[in-house]
Chain A
C-alpha cells in the first residue's frame, strides 16, 4: 500500500498564474482533505471532498477550488496566485462512516510563488 501520494513534490509559479496539485488517497479511503502549511505554522484546513463534492470548507478564498474524481483521487486548484500562497500543501485521506477516522497524510507539495 503506497499510502497517500501527492504530485508534484515541488512547484515554482509566478504571481497571477494558476496551479493544480494532485492527490491519490490511501487504498480503501474515500474522503480527501486538503491543508495548507505555511512555514512555522500548523496545517490549516482548506476543504474536504467526499462523493465528488466539497463537503466542508475552511477560511480560504474562492481562488482555492478542488475536485474529486470517481476513483477518489483529488485535485486542488489555486487561481491568481499570490506570494502568500507559498506553502506546503498537504493532502490527507480517511474513510467516511468510520467515526473519527484518523487522517493519513501525503508528503505534500511545496509551492513557491515568485
Chain B
C-alpha cells in the first residue's frame, strides 16, 4: 500500500541544536516529495520540495531512494522553527498530496 510515515510525533531541542525530522514513504514510481509547515495560528504552507533542491529557512531535505526517505534537516535550530511539520508525497499529475501524521518541533531557548 502507498503510504507516508513520520515515525515521531514530537521533537524537542534546544536553540542551536541540529534537527532531523524523519519521513519514510512507500510509493511505486518516483513521487515528488514536499515538506509543509504550519506555524502557530497560521495556515499550512509549503516549506520545500525535493525537486527544487533548495534550502528554505536553513532547512534541506534529501531524497534517498534506496531508503525511501525524505528527512528534513537543519544544522542549527531557531525558536521560530517551532511548528508542525508534514511530509507529503505528491503522486500523479493532478496535485494530490498525501500527508503524514506530522511532527511537532519544539525549539527551546
Contact = CB atoms under 8 A, between A and B. Distances in A.
Interface of A: 4, 31, 33, 35, 40-45, 48, 50, 55-56, 90, 92, 94, 96, 99-108
Interface centre among A33, A43, A99, A108, by most B CB within 10 Å? A43
Interface string B73-92: 00000000000001010101
Contacts of B94: 31, 48, 50, 55-56, 96
A42 B86 CA distance: 7
Contacts of B99: 35, 42-44
Contacts of B88: 42
Given A33-B97, A43-B44, 5 more contacts: A33-B95, A42-B101, A45-B98, A103-B46, A106-B43
Please tell me the size bucket of the interface on B: 20 to 34
B95 A105 contact: no
Given A100-B32, A105-B44, A45 B95 contact: no
Nearest to B84: A42
A107 B102 CA distance: 17
Nearest to A97: B93
A108 B43 contact: yes
B95 A101 contact: yes
